[in-house]
Structures are given as structure tokens and as C-alpha cells.
Chains A and B, each alone.
Chain A
Amino acid sequence: MNFLNIAMLGGVLAGSIPLIIHLFHKSRFKVVKWGAMHLLTAVLRTNQKRIKIEQWILLAIRCAIPILLALMMARPMWQGAASLLGNRPTSTAVLLDNSYSMEAGRAGTSNFSLARDETQRLVGELKRGSEAYVFLMGEGTGLLDESTRDISRVTQALDKVGSGYGVARVPAALEFVAGTLGKMTEGTRQVVMLTDFQRLSFPASEDKAFGQAVDNLKKLPVPPTLTLWDVGVEVKENVAVDSLDFSKLMVGVGQKVQIRANIRNYGETARNDFRVKLKVDGRDKATSQVLLGAKAQSQVLFTHVFDTAGSHVVEIETEDDAVKADNSYLASIAVRDKLPVLLVDGAPGATPDDLKSETGFAQIALSPFAAGKVEQADLIQATVVTAEALTARQITDSAVVVLANVAKLGDAQLQALELFVQQGGGLLVFSGDRTDAAWWNGAFGKLAPLPLGSMAGDLKEGAPSMSLTSQRFENPALEIFNDPQNGTLSDVAIKAWYRLKPSERSGGPEDPVVLARLDSGDPFLVEKPCGEGHVIACATTLDAEWSNLPARPSYLPLIQRLCVYLASNIYPRRNLQVGEQLVGFLPVASAGKTAVLTLPDTSTLEVPVVKKGERGVVEFPQTRRPGLYTLLPAGGTPIHYVVNAERSESNLAKLSTAEITTLAKTHGLQLVRNAAEFKALDKVQRYGHELWKWALLLLLLLLFGELILQQKFARGKGKS
């Protein structure tokens, strides 16, 4: 209980006035010499006790009236157990939704700017010495690293906050804030969440988690008051670029690339002639128009030929609407002009280009122009080394390593190779007569997709050969053989092969996949992901010793495709999801220096390049903001990274008013819809409920009660 006008409380003394009047009257009595005493005595005898009680009741009521009047004028506030902390500083945590759905709003002002202004005002109006902490739900991080009493720091930082972040994870945000509140010190605590109540952020499936998070907050040693603030207006019309698909295979200079954009209309009006634009490296390249029905989805296909190598940014852009963040979709595409492939020859010939050597055919198949002395440039640049001469540096410098009939590698070589594959490199392994099954199944076991079994087939002249099973290929490397025009693998005759023991595990993301099989059922090509890279093993030789594969027309596309496929795995990845770590590999020479990273808001950042193994590595974990990040190494070419947020945020559907009310009620939260409501609620929470209305009511009741009782008492029971 607190009083706004405490001076008036002195008026309580007025409660003694009726008492004084009573005593005064009683002492200043009249004396009457009375005759009809026998009438009076009888009445007194029967009524004295009752009259005394009635007099006390009346006196109590009369005393209560001025006391109540004084209390009422002192404006009492009821705060419950919240004690007398009205003007004391508070610990305030604000959860500000800056997911990109908050960009919607009335013309001119987005819901986010509204929410941000309210947050600024809320924080700015905190009592002196209060602690404040603002958590940005879209970013999933605090505005400042920790709570502060320097309110101006918070308001200044809020000036720079923007929206356009990914989905707001409400339970996670609440859990985080609970942790921060635990470290705050003031006795009065409040948590205010300003959000647009997008249906996506409050799914029914997360209701339990939400309740759990709220409970955790309430279970804090000093539980805060929880207020939900429904900010802004609901906007229904929104068109978003949902996703962007392009070829999974590596893109070379001059190659045609198909770029497919999925456009979704979340609104309820159909959009005719909806314009979609392709931009490459910021320049308009093509425009297309699509027909978008209400709540419908559509695809737009663009083709593009990159004429320079390096990192490129592809952007699909649509017409403007309420939410800008989902009007474009970016992708980073690495275009190569060279693909270094290292052929490790286990059975070298006399000269490197000796067709009798294990890698002779493969070298020609990979770099046919160079072999034919034609002036055209090969995409793939094949280098041949012997197993003994293989160095770690050679491995790091190439995109794909091919082991052909290699008996075994040294420990250092194997270690370098493992690291190479772990970091996204491609490894292609062919068996042969020199293959050491013991080493394969032992030291090489980590990389080998399947353990090696016994040898099968017969190399004798005239012995029957085995062919490949005709099948539909799922792997991008073999996809072209699904079309007979591109050649076939079924005419390959294989005389001898190793039996690859099928794995007991299959189907998992880390499990080996059989890409092609022999008619006997034995695996022919097996792929296994290994770290960020992939390993593909072949059951037969790379040269013509065990099969007629090198002589078939399908040999060249098969080998080239396998190498391109293994090299397509651009690592570190350049298309990231919000929150994923951005990693850049730079030449080892740049280690120790810094690189410049340009962030989506065009601010730049110097990031250190750290030497890790044979590389310089840049790491940047704070990719909370979606958009384009450009890493520019000193004296190098820029590398583009694109961070995308989940596009489900584009669905602006909001919880209905009833649902929001239910949500607040179910979890025992306060709900406000504007600043005035919040202020009123805050006043109540801070100072309590004003009680003068109730006091007035009680006062009137007492006044009437006194009148009625007096009448009633004077009438008496009259029994004598």
C-alpha cells in the first residue's frame, strides 16, 4: 500500500472527531428530574446491552467516515506484494522483434520503426539508476553485450538498429533474457516483448516451449513482470522470392548456368505481369514476367553465361512491396577457369604421357585440348605425380586428387589427404593390381567408402567380361548418361574387379552410396561423404588393364564429370544460413595479415587471417544479418558470401486478437497494444491500483449505513 498524497494521511486524525463529539455530549448532559421512572427503568433493563452495542457500532462507523475520507484524499495505491518500489530503479529487459516481417506496416512507418521508437521511449523513461537490456529477437542477440545503467548508450545503439533479420525465435529469446535477468541486480524487474505476433514466431508446436520459457522467467529468484506488446498493424500483401536453385556442379567460364527462382505470393490478390529481374554482380542481366495467383507459387528460369572466373553474386529481384528483405534473393557462385586435378600414379610408365602408365588415358581424357595440342584451353588441368613424390602442398593446391592403382601412401601423405578431404576436397580412388587390400582396409579405412574384398573376374584372353547394370543415375556426375544421346555405360566390358564389401549401414548422410553396379551385383562406383569433401571409389582400374572403359566414348565425360562433381563442393561454403560461421580460405602467404570484410549494411571490418595447416584462414561467426558479405584479401580478388534468412518469415499472417489474448492469459502475461496502455499498466505495476474509487464507494456505503442504522436503532425492538 502506498499513498500518492501522503500529506492528506494526516486527515486520519479526523477520525477522532466523532469520538470527541461523543464524549463531549456525554459529559455535557442535561439533568432532568423524572417522574415516570418506572416506564424508563423497564425499558432500560431490557435494552441497555443492545443500546450500548448499537452505540459502539454507530460510533465506529462515524469514526470510520472521516478516516476513510482522509485515506481517499491521500490516494492510496494497492501494489500487492510488489512493495514500495514505485520510484526505485528497475531492471528492464526489452525483447525487440527485428525479424524482417517487422518491415511491414502503415505507409511511411514500418512496424519495426514503431517498435524501436517505443523501445527508445520506454528505456528513456526508466527511473534513474535503472538497468536496461535490449534483446533483438530477429538477430538472436543482445543490442549490447550486457545490461547497462548507461541508458543513453542503449538509446544511441537503438538508433542504429535495423530490421530485416531472420525469424524471431521467441522461446529461445526468453530463455536468453532469463539468463541475463539473473545477472541484473534491481529488485523490480520487468520484461517487455515488442513483436508483431507473426504466426510463424508463435507456432502451436512451440507453445509448450514458450510456456516453459515463461515459467523459467517466473521461477527466477526475483520474478519479473512480463508484458507482451502488440506492435503495429497487420499487412497481408507480400510477395517473396522463396528460394534460388542453380546447378550443383561446378561452374566454369563460358558454361551455361540455369538459375531457377521460386516466387511465392502470400497475399490474397493475384499479381499479373509480376516482374522478376536477374542481376549478376549488381548489373541487370535479364527480366521476366510471371503470373502470380493469390497465395500461389511460381517459378522463373534464367540462364546465364559467366565470362570471367572468380566469385560472382547472382541476385533475383522482384517488385517493391511492404517487406523489402524478401524482395531479392542472393547467391554466391564461384566460377572457375581452371580445375587443378592431381593424378597420383601407382604404376607409372616410362614417360608421364605414356599410355601404358596407369594415368595415361585419364590425363588425356581430362585435358584433351592440351593433349591434342589444340589452342583451346582446358578447364581441367591435370598434373601427374608418383605416389612416392606426392607432397602435402601438391594436395592442398589441387581441387581433386585421383589415386590410380596406388599400393599405399606414407603416413604424412595420408594425413594431408585426409585433411584435404575433410576441408572439402574431392578424392577419386581406382583399384588395380598393386592395390594393397590390407592398407586399404586399415590405414586408408577412414577415407575408403567401402572395405575391399577379394578380386573377381578373369584377365585371360577370351574370358567372359562383366558389364554395368543399366539404371537411372541419381548422382549429378552420372546424370548425363540417363540420356542415351550422351553415351552409355552399359557397353563397358570389365574383366576384373575388386569386390567392395557392401556396408551394413546405409541411408544416413554419412553412409556410403553405391552410384553404379555391375551385373553381378557388386558395387562399381561408391561415394562417401567425408567431412566437407567426398570420396568416390571405383572397383576397377583407371587404365585399360582390367576393362575396356578407356576405349569407350563415355570414358571422357565420365572422368571429367566425376572430377567436376568432386570439385563442385566449394568449401568453405559461400551460401550460408543466418548464424552460420563465415569461413574463408586464403593462400598461406596472407596468413598473419588482415582482410577486409564488407557487411550487408556496407560497413567494413578488418578480419585477421590465421595460419591453419597450409592455408590462411578467415573466420567470422556473426552472420546474423542476412545479405551479402564480401571478403577482400590484401592484394587478392574478392570472395562473396551470401547469408540468407529463412523465407518462411515472409508469411506475414498474424495471430488473431483472440489468439493473442488467449496466449497472454494462458501464460499469465500482461498484454498491451499501444503506449498509453503500457503506461497505464506500468503505473499499476509500479505504484499499484488506485483505491480511491473503492474508498469512495465504501464511504458512501458507510454514510448510508450510518443513516439507516441510526434510524433502525432509534426505532429499537421496543420489547419491555
Chain B
Amino acid sequence: MAHVSDFLKPSDLQRISNLQVLARQVVEGFTSGLHRSPHKGYSVEFKQHRQYVPGDEIRRLDWRVFARSDRYYIREYEEETNLRSTLILDRSGSMNYAGTSAGGVTKYEYATKLAACLAYMMVHQADGVGLTTFDTQIRRHIPPRSRVSHLRVILDELEKGQPGGETDLGDVFHDLEAKLHRRGLLIIISDCFGEVANFIKALAHFRHARHEILVFQIWDRDELEFPFKSWTQFDCLEQEGVKHLLDPVMLRQAYLENLANFRDSLTRGCRRHNIDLVPFCTDEPYANGLAAYMTRRLGRR
């Protein structure tokens, strides 16, 4: 049975606890600031009085106010909403890349740690967290729960999975949408490789269902800088048998331009749908990236 310490080192946990305060505020931003819960009901936390209008439940009348003022007021309470967030983890072959500068850490490993960290934080602030893993199709879907024991389920799943196969985010997200009954926060942890238009379209779909979306894009330094010098054979991680032997020096510039185009169109697509696209690079500690993002996010509020 997996434990948090399998994914997060004590030093990481230390840093996460520091993040906790930040995270709390961020999540509040999601829950109360930006997306106020539409469900109003009974709760301990009083919110406001409002005049009775015909059709209101009579049982919600505040008789004490009526006694004092002879007027009908309805007493309203804030719902104690739990944030329902779902971690959507890409388990496709391309996530299995481990560059030289990352010290042998694959993008997938990095992504699982990031997911574990997020799940840990969510559960510890009593928010519901779920996990969905996918490659060409959805491999596992764990609906969000806020119990502490639920964290273990998620960690187990993170530990079990191994990446492989191709990615087609568009189709997968379409399937996923049906499984998410209630709207909430979707955190997509992926390299987002594939057709940009499809991907954006799928995200738009989520947005349409009024989900809040965060995309944590995982990069390896090699993918960003293409630092290869000598003749290299590039074997495709997703498709067996696809390989190219080439002199990377000759291609570097064209590659980088292509990369910039790719990132640009992705960024523009996300911005269009009010989606935060947060790049992570496997040679940087994810806590740093996370902290930086959260700070930025808070600043924006």
C-alpha cells in the first residue's frame, strides 16, 4: 500500500506545508471568490436575511425576526462547500521521456509526484479530490472524495500505473466529461502533445460544463532546448517502429521554431477559454513551480 512518503520526501512535505496556506487561499479563490456555490441550504454559517416572497418555503421563515418586527424574513445560510477537484493524469508513452538534465526522472514520475502533492494538499484542507488516468482511453477514474483515507486510494493508483501508448486528449476528455457529474476543478497534468486544436476543443467542452480547469504542462529540458549535438536516432515512445536518424544540429533551429509555434497556439487557446496553462520542467522542483503559480494566481485576484 502506497504511502505519501513514497512520492513526497520529507523535505517536499515541509515545503508543501508552507504551501498549504497559499493553497488554501487559492482554493478559496476557486470556491468562494470566483465560483460561488449556487446551492444554498442549511448550514451553520449564517449568511443574510431577505424578505419573504410568495413561493419561499415557509419553514425557512425567521420567526424571531417576525416576532420583533412583524415582517416576514427568510434566513439564508452559506453552504459549506467542498471543492471537488479531479486530477487528470496523462499516462501516454511520451510522458515516459527522461532527459539528461532531469537526472533520470521521467516526465511521468514528475507528474505523479506533482499529482500526489496536489492530492495531499487537497485532502488535508478537506477538499474532495479524484484521479483519472488515461492514455488512448481512460484507464482509471477515481471520483473525488474528501476523506483522508481517500488519499491512499489515489496514491495507490499513482504508484501502480505505468505510461505507454499514444495520447489523444480530445477523445479521452470527451469520455471523461460524461463521468464528471458535478462541476469542479479539473487539474490536467500532461505534456499536451498532440493536435492542439483537438485539445483546446476538448477543454472548451469542459468549460462549457462550467468546470474550472488548470493545465500543468510537463516538459523535459531536452524537449525545450533540443541540445543534441551528434548524430542521433530518435525512437518514438508512443509508436513502435517509428524512428528517425538525423543530425540534430541541422534541425535544431527549425525544431525550436516549431516548438514555439506549438506552445504559442496552446497558450492562446487556453487563454481564450480562461484556462491557466502552467508549464513545469522536470529539472526544476515542482514545489517551486507550484508556489510560483499560486503566488501569481493570488496576485491576479
Contact surface of A with B, Cβ cutoff 8 Å: 25-26, 28-44, 46-47, 51, 54-55, 713-720
Contact = CB atoms under 8 A, between A and B. Distances in A.
Interface in B99-147: 107
Interface of B: 93-97, 107, 191, 193-194, 220, 223, 228, 230-239, 242, 244-247, 249-259, 261-262
Across the A-B interface, give the 9 residue pairs with the lowest CB-CB distance, nearest first: A35-B94, A35-B97, A718-B257, A29-B231, A34-B234, A720-B258, A716-B253, A716-B254, A43-B254
Given A39-B259, A40-B244, A714-B250, 19 more contacts: A29-B232, A30-B233, A31-B233, A32-B233, A33-B235, A35-B220, A37-B242, A39-B255, A39-B258, A40-B251, A43-B255, A43-B258, A44-B251, A51-B247, A713-B250, A717-B254, A718-B254, A720-B254, A720-B257
10 contacts: A30-B228, A30-B231, A32-B233, A37-B94, A37-B239, A43-B251, A714-B252, A716-B253, A718-B257, A720-B258
Contacts, number: 113
B94 A36 contact: yes
A685 B180 CA distance: 95
Interface majority SS (helix, strand, loop, mixed), chain A: helix
Best-surrounded residue of A25, A42, A43, A719 (most CB of chain B within 10 A):
A43
B130 to A, nearest CB: 26
Nearest to B243: A31
A40 B250 contact: no
B254 A33 contact: no
B262 A31 contact: no
Nearest to A31: B233
A63 to B, nearest CB: 17
A261 to B, nearest CB: 95
A39 B247 CA distance: 16
Contact of B251 (A26, A37, A51): A51
A42 B230 contact: no
B237 A33 contact: yes
Contact of B97 (A34, A42, A720): A34
A714 B228 contact: no
A26 B231 contact: yes
Contacts of A34: 97, 234-237
A30 B227 CA distance: 13
B233 A35 contact: no
A61 to B, nearest CB: 15
A37 B230 contact: no
B91 to A, nearest CB: 13
A31 B231 contact: no
Contacts of A26: 231, 245
A32 B193 contact: no
B228 A35 contact: no
Best-surrounded residue of B96, B107, B259 (most CB of chain A within 10 A):
B259
B238 A37 contact: yes
Contact of B95 (A25, A35, A46, A716): A35
A458 B40 CA distance: 185
Nearest to A710: B249
Contacts of A41: 244
Nearest to B253: A716
A27 B51 CA distance: 84
Contacts of B194: 38
A289 B107 CA distance: 121
B93 A716 contact: no
Contacts of A29: 230-233, 245
A25 B259 CA distance: 27
A405 B248 CA distance: 129
B6 to A, nearest CB: 24
A54 B246 CA distance: 13
A32 B246 contact: no
A38 B228 contact: no
A44 B233 contact: no
Contacts of B246: 44, 51
A54 B250 CA distance: 9
B231 A47 contact: no
Contacts of A719: 254
B76 to A, nearest CB: 52
Best-surrounded residue of B223, B254, B262 (most CB of chain A within 10 A):
B254
Given A25-B230, A36-B223, A718-B253, A44 B235 contact: no
Contacts of A38: 193-194
Given A34-B236, A40-B255, A720 B261 contact: yes
B233 to A, nearest CB: 5
Contacts of A31: 232-233, 235
